């Protein structure tokens, strides 16, 4: 048999099996990933525990979240490359069960009497590719519909809801050090309305950490960043926060960013599980830690924090239910930079409506310029989503602010991009932040 598919970058074709033209499978390997390719533009990724990570079929990408939901999208290439988000299948578990059934079909062929003529080792560095294929397919085969339901319930026992994550942490390992939001008074946000804020004790956090490790099992080795939730975990006093971070690094070794290329490669090769740092949300209006305290956090592994600036105009911040803290946000960023902690700044496109269109734009650009964002920082532009039940919507209507249309939001977003690039001395990535993709979603990992 001859392999007939072009594997994605990073995947190495290993084994081809099949009994007919319509029942052929090619298995590819990447660290912690099994890629199962079928005829007619259909590929499935599984992790070491056997869970589906993602599916590509007929040009559509299905990305599974930890709670067994699906993020569905398709790349549209005209007039320019754009990712279009699609509605998920009506029954995500049924869809996932079908993908696992393909793994069972391949395993049955592989294990059938006289399978050797049907199994061709393509290439690869694995000592025994056929054995690897059997073990990987066995792990993926155990997830039928009933097991998928049990897996989803097990996940719900481990985690509270994960309402929102920064886009670059959809594939991070989430550890919930706090519950709810300590502020929880923003007039446009309903992520934490039903969750009372509290800090988990050392014992509670340790138990949660153990449950997460047990749930992930062998798939833990695919996670190399840790996001601390639910909301602003870094407002916890360092005297209680640092021991909790240490409890994690005692179990999962922390990569030292000062390592050279060779040392870093040796570290990764010698540790099955490792992570590069902690990440978390932060706000600019609770009592701020001192630079020395932030230095302590940097030494403990905190690499980047995410600040919802929303607007650089204090009047608009009041409309959004936030204290007038543009100056405080500037000082916070300077303090974080002084401690060698990078920042991710989130700006709310459409805040203040048509009435404050220019004021929001110019004030926010000025604030971002004064923050002196640098290489390693990140800027997110998130379109304002109005909720009728939230105070901002009713206040905006009463004051005649005029909600921006989709095209007006696109124009303001473009204005922000152009203005930011002309004002910052160092190149900082600018990316969209679509909250529709983050609500109660926890992706299992990158495809």
293-343 pLDDT, tens digit each: 999 999 999 999 999 999 999 999 999 999 878 999 999 999 999 999 999
Which has the closest alpha carbon to 34: 214, 222, 172?
222
Q: Could you report the per-residue pLDDT of 68-109, keeping only the tens digit for each?
A: 788 898 877 766 666 777 888 999 999 999 999 999 998 988
| CA-based end-to-end distance of the chain | 27
Cα gap 261→433, rounded to integer Å: 32
The percentage of residues in the chain with a pLDDT greater than 90, rounded to a whole number, is: 56
User: 343, 377 in Cβ contact below 8 A?
Assistant: yes
- With a CB cutoff of 8 Å and minimum separation 6, the contacts of 181 are 191, 192, 195, 197, 230, 231, 232
Task: Name the token pair of 388.
Answer: 């009728």
Q: Three-class SS of residue 161?
A: coil
For the chain, what's the residue count? 447
95 sits in which H/E element: helix 92-111
The distance between the two most distant Cα atoms of the chain, rounded to a whole number of Å, is: 77
Q: In what order do the strands lie in the sheet with 70-76?
A: 82-86, 70-76, 60-64, 52-57, 42-46, 33-38, 23-30, 12-20, 119-121
| Identity of the highest mean pLDDT range in 1-5, 288-292, 377-381, 384-388 | 377-381
State residue 81's pLDDT score: 66
Q: What angle do CA 406, 407, 408 make, to 5 degrees?
A: 90
Read off the pLDDT of residues 383-421 as tens digits, 9 standing for 90 and up.
Answer: 998 887 889 988 888 888 988 999 999 999 999 999 998
How far, CA to CA in Å, does 79 sit from each of 73, 74, 76, 89, 434? 17, 14, 8, 27, 21
């Amino acid at each position: 048999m001859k392999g007939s598919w072009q594997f994605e970058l990073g995947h190495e074709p290993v084994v081809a099996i099949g009994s007919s033209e319509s029942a052929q499978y090619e298995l590819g390997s990447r660290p912690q990933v099994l890629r199962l390719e079928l005829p007619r533009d259909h590929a499935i990724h599984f992790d070491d525990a056997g869970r589906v990570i993602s599916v590509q079929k007929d040009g559509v990408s299905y990305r599974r979240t930890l709670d067994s939901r699906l993020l569905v999208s398709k790349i549209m290439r005209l007039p320019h490359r754009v990712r279009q988000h699609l509605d998920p299948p009506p029954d995500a578990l049924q869809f996932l069960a079908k993908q696992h059934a393909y793994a069972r079909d391949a395993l049955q062929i592989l294990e059938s009497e006289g399978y050797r003529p049907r199994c061709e080792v393509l290439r690869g560095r694995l000592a025994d590719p056929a054995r690897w294929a059997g073990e990987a397919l066995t792990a993926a085969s155990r997830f039928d519909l009933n097991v998928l339901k049990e897996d989803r319930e097990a996940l719900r026992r481990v985690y509270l809801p994960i309402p929102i994550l920064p886009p670059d942490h959809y594939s991070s390992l989430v550890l919930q050090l706090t519950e709810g939001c300590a502020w929880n008074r923003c007039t446009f946000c309903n992520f934490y309305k039903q969750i009372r804020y509290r800090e988990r004790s050392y014992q509670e956090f340790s138990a949660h950490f153990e449950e997460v490790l047990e749930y992930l099992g062998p798939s833990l080795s695919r996670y190399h960043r840790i996001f601390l939730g639910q909301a602003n975990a870094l407002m916890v006093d360092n005297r209680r926060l640092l021991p909790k971070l240490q409890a994690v690094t005692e179990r999962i070794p922390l990569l030292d960013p000062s390592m050279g290329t060779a040392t870093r490669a040796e570290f990764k090769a010698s540790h099955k599980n490792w992570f590069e740092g902690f990440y978390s949300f932060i706000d600019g209006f609770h009592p701020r830690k001192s630079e020395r305290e932030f230095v302590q956090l940097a030494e403990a592994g905190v690499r980047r924090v995410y600040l919802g600036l929303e607007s650089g105009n204090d009047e608009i911040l009041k409309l959004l239910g936030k204290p007038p803290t543009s100056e405080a946000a500037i000082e916070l960023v300077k303090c974080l930079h002084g401690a060698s902690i990078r920042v991710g700044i989130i700006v709310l496109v459409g805040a203040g409506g048509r009435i404050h269109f220019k004021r929001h734009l110019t004030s926010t650009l000025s604030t971002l310029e004064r923050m002196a964002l640098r290489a390693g920082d990140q800027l997110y532009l998130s379109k304002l989503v109005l909720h009728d039940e939230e105070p901002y919507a009713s206040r905006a209507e009463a004051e005649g602010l005029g909600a921006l249309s989709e095209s007006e939001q696109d124009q303001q977003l473009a204005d922000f991009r152009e203005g930011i690039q002309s004002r910052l001395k160092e190149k900082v990535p600018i990316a969209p932040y679509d909250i529709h993709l983050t609500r109660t979603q926890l992706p299992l990992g990158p495809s």
